[in-house]
Amino acid sequence: MGLFGNLQIGNMDANSQKKELDLNNPTEHHNLVIVGSGPAGYTAGIYAARANLNPVIYTGMEVGGQLTTTTEVENYPGYPEGIQGPAMMEDFKKQAERFGTDIRWGEVTQVDFGRRPFVLVIDDEKVVSANAVIIATGASAKYLGLESEQRLRGAGVSACATCDGFFYKDKVVAVVGGGDTAAEEAIYLAGLAKKVYMIVRKPYMRASKIMQKRVLNHPKIEVLFEHETLELIGENKVEAVKLVKRKGQPDEEIVEIPIDGFFLAIGHKPNSEVFKPWIETDENGFIKTQCKSTKTNIDGVFAAGDVQDPIYRQAVTAAGSGAMAAKDAERYLAELEEAQRENA
Ligand code: NDP
């Protein structure tokens, strides 16, 4: 048994059914692997490629990340007229490629950060090794957890208005959530649908003032404050939503509203699951980074973007932390090279 022979393999439970992989024999070695292709991943790629670190990005399933599911981005500096999210991510990608970032379609499905070099499994098939890793896997949409919601996913239930809104032209839809995402999705859907209900569980919205104003003044949007979703009704497709109004109050009321589509916009869950056997996260799964850096608890593994940011979660802050991660990785790799030279 080799030096690392008895080490735990990351994500053991999830992978127990999967093909046996020989983690001792990676088929390819990379200097720096960046996991994820949102603003953080691509920015890390731009900086790392320009520093001659030969970065390889594994894009993940959602190439370009969450911004590919959004419409107009108005607050990213440098785009005074605004830009569509997918077009912006295409620009990020081109810029990373221009400096030689090797961008590959693939998902990291398992890691072993107990070894040096680190070991990563791509798509449950290919084993690669890396001197340093930047985790920039972002976050994914949350669901309410209702049986009916699960059953009708893809049959009227969606977590992406820009992806699926087109199917609801002149129909009636509901958006659940009271944050900026919900407001943005409600406005987008109101451009297509006949009527949009916004289901907000509190007596007020969490969205920014400007978005609240746009929603409240929109003739096609009706905001249902203090409403919570009990279930979706429909056999093979969404036909109505059952809500409880002012739950727990003396005037509590159950209401049923006919709808054709139900859109989730209640926040996101960080995509950190595969790294959890090795990387410290907070109680919500966000990767913990050391003060004023992108360093994780494992030397040589860095985290950038929404996967480590429960607070700001903006494209521009994600891009900023991607640049930080590349700088941190650059320093780490220079020190590693120096140590290897001294030991040679
Ligand atoms: P937020 O966490 O800001 O809001 C989530 C919303 O969903 C809240 O209203 C919350 O209600 C509600 N919610 C959560 N769980 C449930 C549940 N189980 N049932 C019903 N309602 C629920 O997430 P967002 O995705 O809206 O935004 C994330 C971040 O991204 C924010 O910082 C936001 O400002 C930013 N953003 C900015 C945009 C822009 O500037 N263009 C666009 C989109 C997002 P409650 O308030 O009661 O907790």
Listing DSSP states for 44-75 in one string gives HHHHHHHTT--EEEE--SSTTGGGGG--EE--
The pLDDT assigned to 19 comes to: 62
List the catalytic residue out of 123, 163, 282, 299: 163
β-pairing, 126-135 with 301-303?
Answer: parallel
Q: How far is the CA of 297 from the centre of ligand 1 (A)?
A: 29
- How many whole angstroms separate alpha carbon 95 and alpha carbon 209? 34
160 an active-site residue? yes
Q: Which residues of 277-302 are buried (b: 16+ CB within 10 A; e: fewer)?
A: bbbebeeebbbebeeeebbbebebbb
Who's near 276: CB < 8 A, 6+ residues apart? 11, 285
Sort 170 into a burial class: Cβ within 10 Å, 0-12 / 13-18 / 19+.
exposed
Q: Which atom of ligand 1 is nearest to the CA of 178?
A: 9
Q: Is 82 in the pocket of ligand 1 (CB under 6 A)?
A: no
Per-residue tokens: 66 = 């969450």
| Ligand 1 atom 39: residue of nearest CA | 180
291 catalytic? Reply is no
- Strand residue runs (E) in 117-226: 118-122, 126-135, 139-141, 157-158, 172-176, 195-199, 221-224
Please work out whether the CB of residue 206 comes within 6 Å of at least one atom of ligand 1: yes
* Catalytic residue (choose from 112, 164, 260, 309): 164
201 lines ligand 1 (CB under 6 A): yes
Rounded distance from Cα 299 to ligand 1 centre (Å): 33
Which residues have CB under 8 Å from 295's CB, separation 6+? 289, 302, 328
Ligand 1 in reach of 220 Cβ (< 6 A)? no
Tokens describing residue 296: 């994780």
Taking the CA of residue 183 as reference, the ligand 1 atom at the shortest distance is 26
163 noted as active-site residue = yes
Residue from 91, 102, 160, 180 carrying the catalytic annotation: 160
- The reported pLDDT for the residue numbered 14 is 46
Question: What is the structure's pLDDT at 73?
Answer: 82
Please confirm whether the linkage preceding 117 is cis (ω < 30° from 0): yes
Phi, psi (deg, nearest 5) at residue 262? -130, 115
- Between the CA of 83 and the centroid of ligand 1 the distance, in Å, is 22
What stretches in the chain show pLDDT beneath 50?
1-17
The 10s digit of each residue's pLDDT in 125-173 is: 999 999 999 999 999 889 999 999 999 988 999 988 877 888 899 999 9
pLDDT of residue 18: 53
Cβ–ligand 1 distance for 177 under 6 Å, the answer yes
- Other residues' Cβ atoms within 10 Å of the Cβ of residue 344: 5
For position 141, what pLDDT does the model report? 84
Best mutation site among 67, 197, 206 for ligand 1 pocket (most ligand atoms within 8 Å of CB): 206
For the chain, which domains are there?
A: 6-140+269-343 (3.50.50.60), 143-264 (3.50.50.60)
- Put simply, whether the predicted model's pTM sits higher than 0.85 gets the answer no
